[in-house]
Structures are given as structure tokens and as C-alpha cells.
Structure 1
């Protein structure tokens, strides 16, 4: 097994790296509008523990969600394949005078060693992964007993960032275009104690305007978290 990235992984990293400087122009990426930021803050409050928690944000992008979680008192580690995204995330945290740890690496296999987390968050990520089912198993393995997996996903078209087409061969990815809530729930249910799904398409404040496709949050709890 080689430590060198595959050609596909390198192409994906290059794509998102090129998108980093304009990534926050999308309302739900940069969270620049007060209404959008407040909408995501409310949702995160309902999905995450009330007490300060160790959160692993995989595919963290420019760190917008991570910053909201840090502002809520959580300890955030972000991982992204694109160095440009990680650079922007670090800058964003520094500007806000918030602590956070950011690592360049494959979100499907985060380079966090033996560390375990209370929460793992991924947003709009699984459709980009060559083996999303293996990634889900790996992510669950990064959680402490009683942890939770928070996935913000949906079914959408593969839109390029800043007009740049996505990498060649993306149409052959297992979950290209996203995955429906019912299907993702079915994949996770045998491995966790409880799965809940919250529809998000009907909240335009999250997206900077109305959306017509399926968007949702899936929260999976481990056995100890589900008892009591």
C-alpha cells in the first residue's frame, strides 16, 4: 500500500484547492449574511451536545461551520484535502480569535491518529468520496462511546465551483449527485443505535434562498448515547 495519493485524489484536491478563494461566495459556505449564520447556529445547537465537546469537522472547507461550533464552546478539529481550504479556515479562526486545529488530509481517513471525538460533522461531502460506505465505517470508529455522527446531505446536481467543472470521472462516484435520506439512513442503521433525519429543504435561510432539491440532516447516535 502506497502513501502517495491516487491520481483521482490528487485531482479532487486540486479542484477544491482552486475553489478555496471563492468558496465563501456561496451563501451557505461563507455564512456572511446574519440570517444565514443565525439559521446554521440554531441547527447546530440542536444537533450537537449542549456541553463543550470535541468535534471533528471532516471536509471542513473554509471553516464556517467549525467557527460557529467553536463560538458555541466546542473544541474543533477540521480536516480537508485542499491546502487552500485549510489556509482559509485557519485565517478565519485567527481573525475571530478562536482556537481550532486544522489538518490537510483525506476526510475519508482523517489524519488524527488515535484521537477520538464526541461528534463528527460532515456537510455536503459523501457524494465526493470514492468509497463512502468505507468512510462512514471509519468515521464511526473515530467516535467515543456515546458519540454522534452529524451528516448534512441531500440529492442535488453536481455543480462546479466558480464555473469550474468537477473532476473527470465524477459521474462514476458511488453517490454522485448526493444520496437520499432514506438510503443513507438504511446504510447507517445497522451500525448505530438510533438514526434521526431532519428535512432542511424548507428553510431558505440556510441556503440564502429557496431550494427545490432534497436537503437534510442525519444524526446517528451510538448505543450509549441512545440509552436513558
Structure 2
């Protein structure tokens, strides 16, 4: 693990204890949880799917998916996040598989998935475009890629790096929809962008920065 990757892992591991305090992380408010459930129902195919949640954090979205009948595998670099995700599933009595590992290169071997879900991860990665290739490569033919991303903070103002060496991150502070779409387009088909910043229920509050979902299908 490089020094930057080690710093990233340590940051998110230490953040795991309070991660769910954010409304859109813990999904503790029924209105926020319901808003995410509704979006996921729209984005995913009907019927039970094999879903990879890359950068699963404490497993809040994974739990919603499992409640809907999907078979979920979660991967996160931070052991603290994975432990909390596993505890949520155990408390709910639901099956789920959680792995400590690099979400940019998920350690799932030859397994393939109907859906790869990634929320608010690409901005943290040293090589986000390599991760996009890895994720699309894990989809079955016609499978769905769901990237929930954004550009954080004030327009035109670069955010402070969140870890030592973070100024080297290509998309530190988030990535505009048109930039991410340009990187993903050669890898997929049926790409579209759905704006999310106008839906305060998703975030537990109004937001004034850019937030969106990029939705696409794997090539046949």
C-alpha cells in the first residue's frame, strides 16, 4: 500500500465511528432512507440482483438493497467501516458479504455482478479512471453501473486536501458530471446523468453543490 493509500485508509477508518452521524450516511431518518430506497428501485432492475457496493462505508445503502431482496457484496478499504456494515446486517438478520480491500480493485476474483454501485468514492481515489475500468469489467453483459457523485463546496473554489498528499488526487473535492461522463462513456452504453442536488430528502437538508447519479449499462 502506498503512503497516500495508507493515509486514505487511516482517514476513513478513523471516520467510521461517526460516519453515520451524517443524514445521508446513516439513513437514520425514515424520510432520507425512503428517498434513497425510491431512487435505488428506479435505478436497479426488477427482481433480485447480485450487487457490488464498492466503497460501501458502513453499509447503509447495502442494507436498503438487501431489504429489497438483492444479494449484496460490499468492499471498503477501512476495516472499521466493514465491521460496522457487517454488524448492521447481523442485527437485521440479513445475508451480506463484506470484504476489507481496495474498492478501486475489488477483491472478488472471477465473480461478476448485475449492478455495481459506487457512491461518493471516485474523488478519494489516486487513479479513478483505472477504477472505472475495473468496475465496468465486473459487470455481466447488460449489467448496470450506478455512480452517485458530485462536486463538493463552492463553485470555482478548490477544497482543502482531506489527507496528507491529497492534493495529488485527480478528482479531489469531487468531479463534475460532464467530466465523469466523458471518462465513463467509452466503457459503457446507454449513459445518462440524473441530477440529485434538487432533492433535499436524499441529503437530509438542502444542498447547493453539484450532486448527480451517472447511470449506464455494460456493453454486450
Fold conserved between structures, TM > 0.5: yes
| From 81, 91, 100, the counterpart of 1:104 | 100
Q: 2:158: which partner in 1?
A: none
CA RMSD of aligned residues (A): 1.2
Please say if 1:167 is aligned against 2:170: no
Is the Cα–Cα contact under 8 Å of residues 194 and 223 in structure 1 kept in the other structure? no
Show CA shifts across 1:157-215 (max 9, x none): 49xxxxxx721121220001111111111111122111011100000000010000000
Query: Structure 1 regions of 5+ residues with no counterpart?
Result: 159-164
| From 185, 198, 203, the counterpart of 2:199 | 203
| From 29, 35, 42, the counterpart of 1:39 | 35
TM-score normalised by L of structure 1: 0.92
Please say if 1:129 is aligned against 2:117: no
Query: Structure 2 regions of 5+ residues with no counterpart?
Result: 155-160
Alignment: residue pair count: 214
Show CA shifts across 1:40-69 (max 9, x none): 000000011111000000000000000000
Structure 2 CA distance, aligned partners of 1:166 and 1:84?
18
Q: 1:70: which partner in 2?
A: 66
| From 193, 215, 220, the counterpart of 2:211 | 215
TM-score normalised by L of structure 2: 0.95
Dislocated runs of 4+, deviation >4 Å: none
Is the Cα–Cα contact under 8 Å of residues 56 and 119 in structure 1 kept in the other structure? yes
Structure 2 CA distance, aligned partners of 1:16 and 1:182?
27
